[in-house]
Each structure stands twice: as C-alpha cells, then as structure tokens.
Amino acid sequence: MKILVINCGSSSLKYQLYNMDNGDVMAKGLVERIGIDGSNLQHTPAGKDKIVFEQPLPDHSAAIKLVMDKLTDADCGVISDLSEINGVGHRVVHGSKYFSKSCIVTEEVKDAIRKCFDLGPLHNPANLMGIEACEKLMPGTPQITVFDTAFHQTMPEKAYMYAIPYEYYEKYDIRRYGFHGTSHKYITSRAIEMLGGKKDSKIITCHLGNGSSIAAVKDGKVIDTTMGLTPLEGLVMGTRCGDIDPAIVLYLMNKENLSTQDVDTIMNKKSGVLGVSGVSSDFRDVESAMNEGNKRAKLALDMFHYKVAKYIGEYFVALGGANAIVFTAGLGENSKTSRLAICEYLKCLGVEIDAEKNGIRGEEIDIASADSKIRVLVIPTNEELMIAQDTKELLDK
Ligand code: ADP
C-alpha cells in the first residue's frame, strides 16, 4: 500500500510518499515560500540527493501540481503513475466540534472543513485547496483528513474555557481547542522514549515554526496549550500577533475605521515578527536583518523569545515541574540562536544547554548539559508518519 501525505502549512507544503508494506519513505520533499518571492521545491527520492526546483508558486494548487509532476517524472520520480497511490492523508488544522478523529473525505466533510474557515483562516483554506487539487489530479483515490485539534481534547475545562459569558460556549462552542496536535503528539511520544519510557512524565513541547504553539503534557496527555479557539492565540508568530489585549481590536476599529475583516487580516497576516520588524515573516530573513543592525528585527525576535520563555515558565507551574522541554518545527529544529536565547531565560529553572550539542542539526538530540535540571530535547517532528498511519488504518477498515 502506498500513501501520500500532504501537510499544507500557511507558507509551506511538506509531502512524503510512504510504502506502508515496509514503512519506507519512497520520496519526500518540501515546498517553501508559497505565495512569496523565492518559492522552491526540494524533492528527495529515497536514496538519492535532494533536487531543488525554483519557480514561482502562487498558491497551494500550483505547489501540489509540481509535486505530482516530480513524483511521476521519468528522472526524479518514484512511481510511474499516480494510480499507484492508494490513498492521500491530509493534515487539516481546525476540526472544531465537527471532528474528533480522522475520517475519509466526502462532500459533507469538505462542507464542514469550509465551515471552519472562520476559525482557521490561514490554514483550513490551504488544507481544502490541497484536498481538492488531489481529487482533481487523482479522481477515485480516497482522501483522508487528520485534524490538528484532536490531541488537545484532553485539556481540563479550567484550561479550555474563556472567562466570557457561559452562554457563548453553549451557543457557539467558543472554547480553546489548540493546534499542531499531530506534531505535539509525535514529539511527546518520541520524548517519552528518549526519557527511557518514563510513565509519569511532565513535558513541555514547543512547536516553533511560522505558526508556533506550546503544550504542557502530563503523562502523555495535554493539560494546556497556547493556541485557542483559533491558531491566533498564544505566541508571537511569523504573521500572527498571538496574545494581545482584546480591547486593542475595538480601539483600532474606532480609530482607523476598520471592518472586522480588516482587523482579522491585520492580526493574522500583518502582525507577529513581520508586523514588528517590517522585514519578513520568515525568521531567517528577520535574523539576517538583525545581524545587519536592524533594531526592529531585533525587537521582533526579542519579543518572540521572551514570550516562548514566559509560556514555558507558566507550563512549568501548570505541570508542577518538568522533565523535559522539547523544541521542534522549522525554527525549533534549526535555529540554535533562538534555542539559546530562549534557554537563557530558563536558567532560573535550572536549564543549562551544551553549546556544542546545540549546534548539531537534523537529528533527535538532548542538548542539555549533564547537570541541567531539565532535559532539553530537539526532535524533528514527523506529522507525516502519524498521518500515514491514520490513513492506512482507515483504508484497512
Ligand atoms: P509552517 O509549517 O508554519 O509554515 P515551519 O515549521 O515550516 O512553518 O517553519 C517555517 C519557519 O522556520 C520559517 O519562518 C523559517 O524562517 C524558520 N526556519 C527554518 N530554518 C531556519 C533556520 N535555520 N534558522 C532560523 N529559522 C529557520
């Protein structure tokens, strides 16, 4: 059985083609900077070198078409025809009240994903575009959805409720849902293994990418997480503001005569490190600008690191201590400077990191020094593997 996994992020698309008979990854790749200058596809057929294709990719449909072309290409492809793929597993960000587990795509499922557009404005439309592009390119092949909100369903009421009139929870299901659940779940299980299979574990998982979130995980179950009703709450992100005083929204609407759509765009697409730095939503660009002396770029990164560290402190309290802090995703896995800046704040909790180990990239590693009171793990996330397993399970039924 061959399963293609598609993970459409706000500006990136990751894919892996699995041979589920032996668990091998036949090909994998990453499309970066979708919709912004410098779009490129990095395609790696198993056992061969990565090939980079640079071309403008205005949206996710264009990106998927390019991926399909390369998977079936005579030179760099790994299958001769798309019909060899038995099913496609898609990451979908917001499942709201409609989905508590993975399912096979039907028209009703697509309608429900559309109903969640308001709640996941940066991701759900991209996720649905991915599903529809695949349906068009490979009609008849089952498409499966795996939801980001599922792993956080174990949060207690006191963590997921907002202190607004209770009737809005009853009427509109307004509560905190949390996101990046597939990633938090994967790195939690890897971390527990790295801690020697520890049963009573207290782990703080930090998924730091363009979209970022942290979860407090006790004995393998989420007790709190930074994202809320939508993926806008919590940390400072690439283009999202994270936590702000809600009164700012009303104040801005009055002062600038803004519509709700205007404010939504400002908070989701024009804020975060992009909004503060004025440079880019890509952390690498912002880091380069800071190194060239750009003060607002430095401020944006300082705000990001400070907020991450504050939430780690909050979750240390929520968990009553911590065995490990885990870093993952684009920034968490790759930026030693960000990990260092965040861990500087955590010295008061007894966190010490080993500079040399912090410089190692691309593998699961404990970067804490021997005498650190808390382990600091870098674990490349593997949402794709989790999605492939869910997809196979549904196809086997
Ligand atoms: P998303 O899926 O939300 O788009 P990713 O997890 O792919 O996000 O992370 C993308 C972010 O990771 C980008 O902002 C990028 O700049 C950042 N990133 C990737 N590699 C590095 C690096 N070496 N140093 C700093 N930031 C990096």
Q: What stretches of the chain show up as alpha helix (H) in DSSP? A: 60-71, 107-115, 124-137, 157-160, 166-172, 181-194, 247-256, 260-269, 272-277, 283-291, 295-319, 329-334, 336-345, 355-358, 383-396
Question: In percent, how much of the chain has pLDDT > 70?
Answer: 100
What are the structural domains of the chain? 2-147 (3.30.420.40), 197-378 (3.30.420.40)
Strands 13-19 and 2-8: antiparallel
Distance from Cα 180 to the centre of ligand 1, integer Å:
15
Determine contact, residues 149/178, Cβ cutoff 8 Å.
Answer: yes
What's the predicted TM-score (pTM) here? 0.85
Distance from Cα 8 to the centre of ligand 1, integer Å:
14
Residue 362's pLDDT is 86
Asked whether 210 lines ligand 1 (CB < 6 A), one says yes
Atom number of ligand 1 nearest to Cα 285: 16
Question: pLDDT tens digit string along 314-352?
Answer: 999 999 999 999 999 999 999 999 999 999 999 999 999
Residue 142's pLDDT is 97
- Quick one: how far is CA 381 from the chain centroid? 9
Look at residue 346 and give its three-state secondary structure: helix
DSSP β-bridge partners for residue 327:
206, 378
Distance from Cα 110 to the centre of ligand 1, integer Å:
29
DSSP designation for 78: S
Asked whether 182 lines ligand 1 (CB < 6 A), one says no
Cα separation, 395 vs 397, in Å, equals 5
Strands 324-328 and 202-208: parallel
Distance from Cα 330 to the centre of ligand 1, integer Å:
3
Determine contact, residues 9/62, Cβ cutoff 8 Å.
Answer: no
| 384 confidence band (pLDDT: 50, 70, 90) | confident
Please report, to the nearest 10 degrees, the dihedral formed by the alpha carbons of residues 58, 64, 66, 70 taken in order: 160
Rounded to the nearest 10 degrees, what angle do helices 247-256 and 260-269 cross at?
Answer: 120
Look at residue 121 and give its three-state secondary structure: coil
Q: Which residue, among 11, 9, 26, has the nearest Cα to 388 in the 3D structure?
A: 26
| 118 confidence band (pLDDT: 50, 70, 90) | confident
Nearest CA to ligand 1 atom 19: 330
| 190 confidence band (pLDDT: 50, 70, 90) | very high
The catalytic residues are: 148
Nearest CA to ligand 1 atom 7: 330
Residue 122's pLDDT is 74
